[in-house]
Amino acid sequence: MSSFAKTLVKWHTNHGRKNLPWQHTTNPYFIWLSEIMLQQTQVATVIPYFEKFIKTFPDIASLARAEEAHVMQLWSGLGYYSRARNLYDAANIILTKHEGIFPCNFEEIIQLPGIGRSTAGAICAFSFKQNYPILDGNVKRVFCRFYAIEEWSGKTNVEKKLWQIAQENLPKHDIQIYTQAIMDLGATICIRSKPRCTECPLIKNCQSFQKNLTQIIPAKKPVKKLPFKKTNILILKNAKNIFFIKRRKQAVWRGLWSLPEFISKKELQIWMIKNLDGQYKVVTGGKKLATFSHYKLEMIYHLANIDNPNILNDIENGLWLEQNEIENAALPSPIKKLVKEICL
């Protein structure tokens, strides 16, 4: 075992996190679910979602047999909804191709939707005690600082180097403890801003600390101007209800309920003429800006009152939700926020 791995394993005994709800189990379903939920999301945010999810879907079979809308409803608020869709799709693959048993082979695991090299490595390490490296954001930060890698970790050549480092530092034994330890170190000690270096077990050999580079390593991702998009959104309501349409499979928010959306105001007006037969009253309109990881979206909303909700009965995948159902409905976060600000 390398001195790097040995030091971390020893440190974890007294300082590592040991009470997270997905710990103390080798159930690959629980490990997989936690790893997916933790992508781009803080632990404190994930815990209640994880606990509710496994209570509702205690195993892969129950997840696979659920309605996709129910899965999306439980995920609502976590964001990055493709994660939930991939979970659902992967569960169905496991049920049909693997008889509901999570595969224990790295090559088979990484073929499942939404599972990359690092997630597959974590599942293999925690569930099957197999020696595979991980390289999530926390681990990248630890390696970048320890080896004083000054380039952005997302660059292809840098990431390749980090994978090599991760592989070389794998211990022959205690892979579960080591994997949890390096994740914990990155999450609690070697944090992005104001790292707690004096509490770090690796301080004596950390090149960034020795060179006084801990504040500039890891390098920040190069700033890229986000593209700007516009959409016209129609909010139809009456005294108690608001009208929603389930997103198509090819849409960004697939499987979620959302407001009717149009490329242009003219397209929106044509839809209203065709489906509302003049039985509406435009109340107000405005703009709201939503920022996503890859683009900014200007939502131009149009609010109209409808006295006769039955006029929309023929709209495919349409649904009237009572206003008190909005909070727990499977809605995209920006849409839920818009509705609450404008209507509630």
Q: What is the pLDDT of residue 307?
A: 85
Which member of 35, 99, 150, 327 is catalytic? Answer: 35
pLDDT tens column, 201-252? 999 999 999 999 999 999 999 988 999 999 999 999 998 999 999 887 666 7
- Taking only the tens place, the pLDDT of each residue in 81-133 is 889 999 999 999 999 999 999 999 999 999 999 999 999 999 999 999 999 99
**Mean pLDDT, the chain, whole residue set:** 94
Q: Cα(229)–Cα(20) distance, rounded to whole angstroms?
A: 39
pLDDT digits 0-9 by tens, 244-267: 998 876 667 878 899 999 999 999
For range 269-283, the mean pLDDT: 91
Q: Which residues 6+ apart lie within 8 Å of 56 measured at CB?
A: 62, 70, 74
- pLDDT for the residue 19: 93
Whole-number pLDDT of residue 229: 95
Go through the domains of the chain in sequence order and give each one's CATH number.
3-132 (1.10.340.30), 134-168+189-223 (1.10.1670.10), 228-343 (3.90.79.10)
pLDDT score of 73: 87
Residue 303 has pLDDT above 70, yes or no: yes
For residues 305 and 237, the answer to whether their CB atoms sit within 8 Å is yes
Residue 257: alpha-carbon gap to chain centroid: 18
Residue 191 has pLDDT above 80, yes or no: yes
What pLDDT, in 10s, does the model give residues 1-60? Answer: 789 999 999 999 999 999 999 998 999 999 999 999 999 899 999 999 999 999 999 999
Contacts of 80 by beta carbon, 8 Å cutoff, 6+ apart:
39, 40, 41, 293
- 291 Cα distance to chain centroid: 15
Q: What is the pTM of this model?
A: 0.87
35 annotated active-site: yes
Which amino acid, residue 177? I
**Mean pLDDT on 162-170:** 98
pLDDT at site 249: 67
Taking the CA atoms of 2, 199, 134 and 62 in sequence, report the sign of the dihedral they define.
positive
Report cis status (omega within 30 of 0) of the bond before 201: no
